[in-house]
Amino acid sequence: MKISWNDFVEECRNCQACPLAATRKNVVIYRGNVVAPVMFVGEGPGATEDEQGLPFVGQAGRLLQLLLDAQGFSMNDYHIANVVKCRPPENRVPTDEEAKACKTLLGKQILICKPKIIVLLGKTAYTLFTGDKSAKMTEIRGNFIEKNGYYILPTFHPAYILRNNSERIKLWQDVAIVRKKAEELGLMAPLPSVPDMPTERPSSKQDKA
């Protein structure tokens, strides 16, 4: 049976599948466009996201947005989500059980979003999404995995880049790779020129995005 977006949102808001439901302020589902060619998936909401009910709106999210804007992504081009939709207390890493409890919802979200490209932001998101615990992000980032009709690309979480700004070029390169793949697939129009990487740093806040 086909699920509507409104029904999906209601299912998320009513979810009590794991203990995170007891400590959340908001269920954090998405931002961007409901149906989009590119889907970005992080590990879980931070404090700012829990407060606002939107993913990637904290400091790391603002860095991601800087890079997306510079690469010419519009809101229609992306759908941003997380593996788990409720904030783990103290911003800890989601457990395997919490990720498993949210897996059905994420699967439905992907079916509704209909992306061709899925970008996994950070090692935790990659591990929880794929089940692969042995891979090293330094070895797998920037390389597409083709599976079930999707192009899946692991890359660094922007929070890591905030702590290691000298590595920003690598996340920037990976966003450019995503943009190029979207152009090759006819999902986005080519950019008129090669953009420059933004060098500004988002204002500091005590959250993870």
Distance from C-alpha of 114 to C-alpha of 136, rounded to nearest angstrom? 28
Q: What is the pTM of this model?
A: 0.95
What domains appear along the chain, each with residue ranges and CATH number? 5-184 (3.40.470.10)
> Between 96-113 and 5-13, two packed helices, what is the crossing angle to 10 degrees?
160
Q: Do 142 and 107 contact (CB within 8 A), yes or no?
A: no
Q: Do 24 and 65 contact (CB within 8 A), yes or no?
A: no
pLDDT digits 0-9 by tens, 135-153: 999 999 999 999 999 999 9
Written as six digits, the tokens of 66 are 């800087």
pLDDT digits 0-9 by tens, 68-89: 999 999 999 999 999 999 999 9
pLDDT digits 0-9 by tens, 101-145: 999 999 999 999 999 999 999 999 999 999 999 999 999 999 999
